[in-house]
Amino acid sequence: MKTAHDLVAIAKSSIKEVALADAAQAIQGADLLLDVREADEYANGHIPGAIHTSRGLLEFKLSNDPNLSARDLKIVLYCKNSGRAALASKSLHEMGYMHVQSIAGGFDAWAQAGNPIAKPEPIVFE
């Protein structure tokens, strides 16, 4: 029986992971930067320009949005430390997306390297 770690290792063997040192350039060249973490993780900080789509709904959201149906979109994905993004990348490849990359080390590596982090402004009710 395979574990979650086994599935991530299998996914990583068949996807393109971009090194952290090359992540900013990959993001700049992407049509879409997707944060596949959970909503609370995204709200606590994310890579500037990232759109939130949790891993559990990714395939459904891409399938149901005509603006995201082009299989030649350049997509960069990330999660906390690259496991969920690897699984998401593999899934998108299986859906026919041709240019999908996952950031090695994920958001944790991005933040630890001192790269910019965006945080939504809290809503204040008066």
Residue 121 pLDDT: 74
Share above pLDDT 70 across residues of the chain, in percent, rounded to a whole number? 100
Q: Are 8 and 83 in contact (CB under 8 A)?
A: yes
Instruction: Give the model confidence (pLDDT) of 16-56 as tens digits.
Output: 999 999 999 999 999 999 999 999 999 999 999 999 999 99
**27/121 Cα distance (integer angstroms):** 23
This model's pTM is above 0.85: yes
Distance CA 61, CA 32 (A): 13
What is the per-residue pLDDT for 99? 97
Provide the residue type at 126 as one letter: E
Largest separation between any pair of C-alpha atoms in the chain: 54
pLDDT of residue 96: 96
CB 62 within 8 A of CB 75: no
Q: 3-class DSSP state for residue 8?
A: helix
Average pLDDT, the chain: 94
Res. 79 pLDDT band, cuts 50 70 90: very high
Please give the structure tokens belonging to residue 65: 């949005």
**DSSP SS3 for 115:** coil
> pLDDT confidence of 81, banded at 50, 70, 90?
very high
Phi and psi at residue 37, in whole multiples of 5°? -80, 180
pLDDT at 120 over 80: no
Q: Which residue segments constitute the domains of the chain, with CATH numbers given?
A: 4-112 (3.40.250.10)
Residue 44 neighbours by CB distance under 10 Å: 13
